[in-house]
Amino acid sequence: MALTESNMFPLGTIAPTFSLPNVVSGETVSLEQLRSSKATVIMFICNHCPYVKHVQNQLIELANDYLPKGISFIAISANDAEQYPDDSPQKMKEVAQALGYPFPYLYDETQEVAKAYQAACTPDFYIFDGLLRCVYRGQLDDSRPGNDIPVTGRYIRDALNQLLAGESVTVEQKPSIGCNIKWKQTV
């Protein structure tokens, strides 16, 4: 595990489009199908990363709190499943079902979507407004495994609350920190 920070995707950038398989339903879904007219949260996560495991329950709580308010949540794993079998689509499905993920969990086998979003670590978070412009990217909150700060989702919650109130997002934007995305080895 290499501790890695977010690349801090440029604010105002339009969300790159994608079509990826949902590991739970088996259907291929697109950003256009999953997006919200209010806001869309895209999370790059995986199964094995201790930083993702540390925040999993908050991700579920966050989605359950904001889905009824019209916010869309999308989780994507782009890790190389050959080198990291815990991140295979079958294992992703098992984790999503066991934890009751209320959001689609998509598999980016080619890693092209992760590259388009300049994703660097798990977890890595992006919020797009109703026009799919990036208004937030970075960390969930200040909690990390072992630092004894409670997992609250504070930064994502504050940004979503500002969007829902029709305000500009003024939340401090700090890079997320976690395991590096497990890129496929090129020969």
Give bridge partners of residue 73 from the DSSP assignment.
41
Domains and CATH numbers, the chain: 3-180 (3.40.30.10)
Q: 102-155, pLDDT tens digit by residue?
A: 999 999 999 999 999 999 999 999 999 999 999 999 999 999 988 999 999 999
Rounded Cα gap, residues 44 and 173, in angstroms: 17
Q: 47-74, pLDDT tens digit by residue?
A: 989 999 999 999 999 999 999 999 999 9
Structure tokens at 123: 């977890």
